Structure 1
Amino acid sequence: MLGRISMPPEKDWRAPPDEAGNDALAYSDIAIGYLRRNPRYRADYSRALGRVKRGAITADEATAALVRRWGISFHAAPASAFDPRLAVARPDLSPASIVLAPALAGIGAECLDMKALGDVRARIRIGDFLHVILADSDGDEHLCMCGSCQGPMAVMLPIGPDPFARLAAAERLCRRLNGMAAGPPALRPPPFRRRHLLTLLQVLDGHRAGATRRELAAALIDDDVRDYSAAEWADSRERKRINRWIAEAVELRDGGYIRLLRGG
């Protein structure tokens, strides 16, 4: 287990995961939940924190390296208390991130009024991007700003996958800049999908804590499996389901979380 500064404390796997208490939960929040349960990422993050503490690199440099390697990461700032909202993703993997760049002359772009953005949760330098996290009760917004921010700015819409998610993210920013409520993020899981993904986080936590498959099934599917005979359990639907859930949860932890960044 990592220290309380670097990761949230462990708790009983039977309790709802920390992510369940967030009414503004987006796919990216769930993705980082899977990644933080990846032992290789935890070790990598711990080493990055150690290098920052020794003064070998800055927190932003450590975060940039983690984001490049894993696609998304918490900010590696050991001087601050752990905050799950300080997670940043690569803009090419996260269509919810809004990319801003200096505008071409003659297209009618205006300068960005930073005061109009409202509360800024964090500014993190990730390579060529200044990653700005805007606090919002409906779900934070993430801006990836490249180049000088002093002149007229434009939203970049890369030609590629996820154009509608990127347009929806840009629309949220436009509403905010015009003094309107930004509204909920576009990449928010529907209730059934959200419940399933959070249940799989409990599967991972229970599996890591040493719970048997029958214990997992009893806690997360049907308590009656505790009373099954060995033959009944071996042939039960609950056993087959928990086996599928374990396989799905492990795959999401070990790389599948990248799909969640795109709303998959």
Structure 2
Amino acid sequence: MPPEKDWRAPPDEAGDEALQYCDIAIGYVSRNSRYHLDYRRALDRVRRGVISADAATAGLVQRWGVSYHAAPTSAFDRKLAVARPDLAPDSIILAPCLDGIGAAPRLDMAMLGAVRARMKIGDFLHFILADTEGDEHVWVAGALDVPMAMMVPVGINPLARLAAAERLCRRLSGMASGPPALRPPPFRREHLLTLLQVLDGQRAGATQRELAASLIHRRVRRYTTAEWVESPERKRIRRWLKEAVELRDGGYIRLLRGD
């Protein structure tokens, strides 16, 4: 996936002050070897003109729940990652407005502000709206030239869906949209990013002791073999490894939901 760097350095995600759960989830997916192969194959098909970048992305999103946009010119750009709306409750879904529920103006694209990307994902138009506090993802069913309504499915985390809808309403009203609903608190964010380093260190061939010395405390380097075997740092790094691998191999879906 993205060019490798020293696993001891903070992951690229750490520098993003607007980091959301979906941004961290794609970090775990990108470290999954099966996704890596699937994504590379999709990029190759796009380069050869067999399939469009949007169609390739739609297939990856359906299979994995979230994916980078499979456009060779923007490969590995976390800001262009797309998550399935049924898994990511901070997605905003727009559909043609029903008759008889009140007047609804047509969607004025100019009111959306800065659009980071526009993609055709299956039957939807997908917009990524740039926002300094956290991008917004809007899925539009049907044509844009008819009155639209926001859909809030009753299901997983409906309060996050309502909060996302409120952000879009504020944007359309010319107001600051405010922070996203599914932004991890500082401690959770730091822990999830540390687990990404655990995966990178493991992939680079670091031992559990080397991981613990770099990510927990450098005193681990001074332990005797017996002290290391009985140390709390060894127990903790083993727990971290187990948790990191589980997130990489499917648990990232929970992050999309804000868990």
* Length-normalised TM-score, structure 2: 0.98
SS in 1 for 2:196: helix
2:18 is matched with which residue? 24
Q: Are 2:245 and 1:250 equivalent residues in the alignment?
A: yes
Code of the aligned partner of 1:90: R
Alignment of 1:133-172 (within 5 A): 133-172=128-167
- Could you list the structure 1 runs, at least 4 aligned residues long, displaced by more than 6 angstroms after superposition: none
SS in 1 for 2:105: coil
Matches of 1:73 and 1:79, distance apart in 2: 15
Matches of 2:157 and 2:105, distance apart in 1: 26
Matches of 1:112 and 1:30, distance apart in 2: 31
Q: Deviations over 1:127-176 (max 9, x none)?
A: 01111000111111000001112111000011112100000000000000
Q: Deviations over 1:199-237 (max 9, x none)?
A: 000000001000000000000001001111111100110
Matches of 1:81 and 1:202, distance apart in 2: 21
Name stretches of at least 5 consecutive residues in structure 1 with no aligned partner: 1-6
Code of the aligned partner of 1:199: T
Matches of 2:143 and 2:224, distance apart in 1: 68
Q: Deviations over 1:96-151 (max 9, x none)?
A: 11000000012122211110000111111110111100011111100000111211
SS in 2 for 1:180: coil
Q: Are 2:59 and 1:65 equivalent residues in the alignment?
A: yes
1:102 is matched with which residue? 96
1:216 is matched with which residue? 211
C-alpha deviation, 1:81, in angstroms: 5.7
User: 1:176 aligned to 171, 177, 181, which one?
Assistant: 171
* Length-normalised TM-score, structure 1: 0.96
Matches of 2:190 and 2:156, distance apart in 1: 26
C-alpha deviation, 1:79, in angstroms: 3.2
1:234 is matched with which residue? 229
C-alpha deviation, 1:9, in angstroms: 1.0
Q: Deviations over 1:64-104 (max 9, x none)?
A: 00000000000000134642200001000001110000000
User: 2:183 aligned to 182, 188, 192, which one?
Assistant: 188
Matches of 2:74 and 2:222, distance apart in 1: 48
